[in-house]
Amino acid sequence: MLVDTHSHLFVEEFEADLSEVIQRAKSAGVSKIFMPNIDLASLSSLLNVCRYYKGYCFPMLGLHPTSVSLNYQEELSEIKTYLKEGHPFVAIGEVGLDFYWDKTYAREQMGAFDEQIQWAISSQLPLVIHCREAFSELYACLEPYKSENLSGIFHCFTGSPKDAIQLMEFGQFMFGVNGAVTYKKSVLPETLKVTVPISRIVLETDSPYLSPMPYRGRRNETSYIVEVEKKVAEIYNMPIEEVERITTENALKIFAER
């Protein structure tokens, strides 16, 4: 039994063949798929997919950092209305910081991130965090909340050993590992091996992005998670079955065994 903790199967890349993609995921042994939101515009398609595949696909709620702009407070206000009693969301995500392209809205990103951290606290939901070229800023945003009962996932972790050591301080967070770990020039395998124990790892795909080898360059999909699993087993020198058991338990711990 495998769990894909991060997959965008509700986006337009899957409109033509989603049922086949889901069937391939099931055939690959994937028992649950957790789906992060992007922005207000993506919520409808996200919820529609999760309703259709209820019990298999689970939605999150949040504003992705690259979707943050000057009017982020208005968009957050509208998104937050979905956090009403009886809501279906299993996490606040995908949220965080992304300074890869530019820092035009750096202050706004940090403001949006802080507000959504507070959503997670007040709603007692885990946080699924995106971070790209912003680890020191991310740590600064999270540090004031160390005493809070925060849990979650550092999605698509690609930081340095120093970054990993700092983020390990947040003991109820897992590190999401996806296809990027299979790339030839990736230094992530060594970083994970020396700094992050398997007890803090969950598997993900980030479909349709970051396809693992040997599918790099193609649309990613949940069934390809088996290639990530194989690489993680190699990194930690463990049987695949043990990696499957541990990472699935880790995922269900974060998402409260939904």
CATH label of the domain that carries residue 236: 3.20.20.140
The pLDDT of residue 244: 98
At residue 258 the predicted structure's pLDDT band, cuts being 50, 70 and 90, is low
Q: What does the pLDDT read at residue 256? A: 83
Contact call for residues 217 and 167 (beta carbons, < 8 A): no
Distance CA 187, CA 47 (A): 36
Counts for the chain of helices (H) and strands (E), in that order: 9, 8
Question: What mean pLDDT is predicted for residues 141-149?
Answer: 94
- Please, which residues have CB within 8 angstroms of residue 188's CB and are 6 or more apart in sequence? 157, 158, 177, 180, 181
Angle subtended by helix axes 225-236 and 240-254, to nearest 10: 110
pLDDT value for 7: 98
Q: How confident is the model at residue 102 (pLDDT cuts 50, 70, 90)?
A: confident
Position 22 scores a pLDDT of 98
- Domain hosting 88: range is 2-254
Please name the residue that has the structure tokens 């979905």.
82
Average pLDDT over residues 3-29: 98
pLDDT digits (tens, 9 = 90+) for 56-67: 999 999 999 999
Distance, CA of 223 to CA of 220 (rounded, Å): 9
pLDDT tens per residue, range 76-90: 999 999 999 999 999
- Span 202-217, average pLDDT: 97
What domain count does the chain have?
1
Q: What is the pLDDT of residue 121?
A: 97
Euclidean distance between CA atoms 252 and 249, whole angstroms: 5
Give me the chain's average pLDDT, please: 96
How far apart are alpha carbons 167 and 96 in whole angstroms?
14
Q: How confident is the model at residue 224 (pLDDT cuts 50, 70, 90)?
A: very high
Q: For the residues of 73-98, what is the DSSP string, one character each? A: HHHHHHHHTT--TT----SEEEEEEE
End-to-end CA distance of the chain: give it in Å, rounded. Answer: 14
Of the pLDDT bands very low, low, confident and very high (cuts 50, 70, 90), residue 257 is: low
User: What tens digit of pLDDT does each residue of 17-43 get?
Assistant: 999 999 999 999 999 999 999 999 999
Closest C-alpha to 35, from 53, 12, 65, 9: 9
For position 46, what pLDDT does the model report? 98
